[in-house]
Amino acid sequence: MITFNDIFKSSFLENISSVSILDMLLALILAFGLGLFIFFVYKKTYQGVMYSSSFGVTLIALTMITTVVILAVTSNVVLSLGMVGALSIVRFRTAIKEPLDIAFLFWSLATGIVLAAGMIPLAVIGSVIIGVILLVFVNKKSSYNPYIIVLRCDGREAEQRTKEYLAAQTQRCVVKSKSAQKGSIELNWEIRLKDDNTDFINTLSEIEGVQSAVLVSYNGDYMG
């Protein structure tokens, strides 16, 4: 019968064989493979402005590190209590710019935890299903492409002409901001194109009273 003292009995030499070499190698190889898969999905679904290869490598490392930590925790009760206290003081200050990056970080952590817990089928099959879902839905393009037009014209009449022209050429157009100075009006239009043809911006810039017209891809993070 195991007593209370036996549970918390611990020494450095006794912990050497708590996790077998085979279990360590198998867990780390699987963690590396699943981390690579997560990295591949991240690379294929990234839609930000500046792709960071270091974040992809972080996903692989995070999966393997989590696996090592959970292997250690599951093999020793005392270590698990100490690990909870040690990890509770860790603070991460890096700002996450893309909301989807949070999902990839949590995915890496969850994969490492499940894998180290011995639930290999759940880790592998779950990762494959999550990866396929992300590849399908994140890469799915909307039928209506959003754009922002930065338009500068010299008066109200030119503004009205451009408004009528945009209403005829686009699926939807909405004024997002407007600034007026003496002899100059600047408008920011959010538009939805009927198709992928952007040649209309050339004609728009040639309308009488229009000083300049700039077409910018719009990802939804509008700064007014």
* Structural domain containing residue 153: 146-217
User: How is the beta sheet containing 146-153 ordered, strand by strand?
Assistant: 170-181, 184-193, 146-153, 210-217
Model confidence band, residue 93 (pLDDT cutoffs 50, 70, 90): low
pLDDT recorded at residue 95: 66
Residue 120 neighbours by CB under 8 Å, 6+ apart: 30
Residue 4 lies in a domain: no
- Kindly state whether residues 53 and 125 are assigned to the same domain: yes
Kindly list the distances between the CA atom of residue 176 and the CA atoms of 190, 210, 224, in Å, as whole numbers in the listed order.
6, 18, 7
Please write the tens of the pLDDT for every residue from 114-158: 888 888 899 999 999 999 999 888 876 555 667 888 888 888 888
- Are 59 and 108 a contacting pair, CB within 8 Å? yes
Q: Do 109 and 166 sit in the same domain of this protein?
A: no
Residue 224 within any structural domain of the chain: no
pLDDT 10s digits, 6-44: 555 555 555 555 667 888 889 899 999 999 999 999 988
CA within 13 Å, CB half, 29: 6
* Same domain? 102 vs 184: no
Residue where a domain terminates, one of 138, 157, 172: 138
Within-domain flag for 86: yes
Q: Which amino acid appears at position 90 of this protein?
A: V
119: in domain:
yes
- Considering the domain architecture, whether residues 189 and 112 belong to the same structural domain is answered as no
Q: Please state, in angstroms and rounded to a whole number, the distance separating the CA atoms of residues 202 and 114.
A: 56
| 114 and 78 part of one domain | yes
Last residue of a domain, one of 88, 118, 138: 138
| 86 or 137: which leads in pLDDT | 137
Q: How many domains does the chain have?
A: 2
CATH (domain of 161) = 3.30.70.260
pTM exceeding 0.75: no
Whole-Å CA distances, 196 to 157, 168, 171, 180, 192: 29, 15, 12, 31, 10
Please give the DSSP secondary-structure letter assigned to residue 183.
T
pLDDT of residue 165 exceeding 70? yes
**Which single residue is written with the structure tokens 């338009």?**
151
Between 10-14, 41-45, 163-167, 220-224, the lowest mean confidence (pLDDT) is in 220-224
> Taking all residues of the chain, what is their mean pLDDT, rounded to a whole number?
78
Same domain, 119 and 191: no
Final residue of a domain: which of 74, 107, 138?
138
Q: Is 5 exposed, middle or buried (0-12, 13-18, 19+ CB in 10 A)?
A: exposed
